[in-house]
Amino acid sequence: MSGSSKLLTLLLRRDDETPITWTYYDEFTTDRAAGAIHGTACEPGPGTRHMADANSKATISGGWLRILSSGGWDPAYGITPALDRKAGLIFCTKLRSVGACFGLQGWDTNLTVLTTEGFYWSSGLQAYTTAGRLVTARDDGAWEFNLTVVLRTSGAHYFIQTEDDYAIGYPEQTLVWTDHAATGTPNYPRLQGEATSNKAMLFKYVGVPQNLWLPTPVVSDGFSSWGTSDGLGHAEGVAGGDALGQGGDGGPWASTAGTWGVAAGVASCSSLATGVGLATITAAADVNIEVDLSRSGGECGLVCRYADANNFIYAIYDGTNVVLRKVIAGSESDIATTAATTGTHLRLYAQGSEIRVYDGTVSKGVVTVADAAVQSATTCGIYTTDTGNTFDNFTAWSRT
């Protein structure tokens, strides 16, 4: 478990060993009938409940808030008053799914429309901002999940932890998505039913700790120079600073194939080795990697699980498609090919044998790579077949 995950786990523990001071906290202690929740105090608090329930479908019983979707994104629970947006502001809840549940959980900028930054349970589990970003499949059994959405100045980090033998399995707090865009303020914690009716969700608690926290990247490089990561590849990166979420500097890059360097704040490979340029750096086996691309020709992209020159996984943009490939024992094969959307921001996410690739925020492939040679390698990097391709804002976060 990484230091970031340990910190988040400690922060979200709700026991006497590590007491937490809460800005808002609700354990739904007292049973309440439909129509009798709005305006009551969070228990043990602080916070006041705001309950929109036009069809009387929300109740509290046995320490659980039950939301039965009744259409029109109703019912919807919130906590007031609103909180100003701050980097590191944490929303956390425990969801118990009841079959094919539908709904939203996270941060909301108002109490009248939709949750703006949170998890969306629909055909798949998605990180929801202005649209759903598929982060994992779903299993419609009765499962319990700890869901956490940590606001950034722009965007948010999304974490999942499962408490049962869930089919997908996130036994630790797992970073499943990072968003860069949303800046909405003020914010309310929100639990909301979906427009599809008669889908139930239960919630054990909702909390907002007073402590602010952001995950620190393993590698972050804005390419101010070549050779060592500078910590400036992500939004919280500030040279010489010590703010939340800063870090990822000091990692040494290796010019594994070709000659790499930096000019005008972007990295490129000035000389290829047998047609390929590859730069590698140590990060993590279970990792979320992102980079900004500027393609001149050929292929350019990201590498993960690099064990050696004969065993690794990589994703590229070729001007038309995003292609996910694996190299096992020196044998290369395409494992997913999808038409590109933008080709300017590539994400490569690895968790166990599951590999995901995104073009910007659009999923371009979810595959299983079970080959033993690439299960535990912690090296990742950037790849090109053209000296004119450039790379910027490389960031790698450990998923756990």
Domain residue spans of the chain: 3-209, 219-398
Q: What pLDDT does residue 162 have? A: 80
Strands 174-178 and 156-162: antiparallel
Q: Which pLDDT belongs to residue 392? A: 98
pTM of the prediction? Answer: 0.93
State the fold for domain 219-398.
Answer: Jelly Rolls (2.60.120)
Query: How would residue 140 be classed by pLDDT, with cut points 50, 70 and 90?
Result: low
Fold matches, 3-209 and 219-398 = yes
Q: How confident is the model at residue 65 (pLDDT cuts 50, 70, 90)?
A: very high
Residue 12 in this model has a pLDDT that exceeds 60 = no
How many alpha carbons fall within 13 Å on the CB side of residue 78? 22
- What pLDDT digit, counting tens, does each position of 222-235 carry? 999 999 999 999 99
Overall fold of domain 3-209: Jelly Rolls (2.60.120)
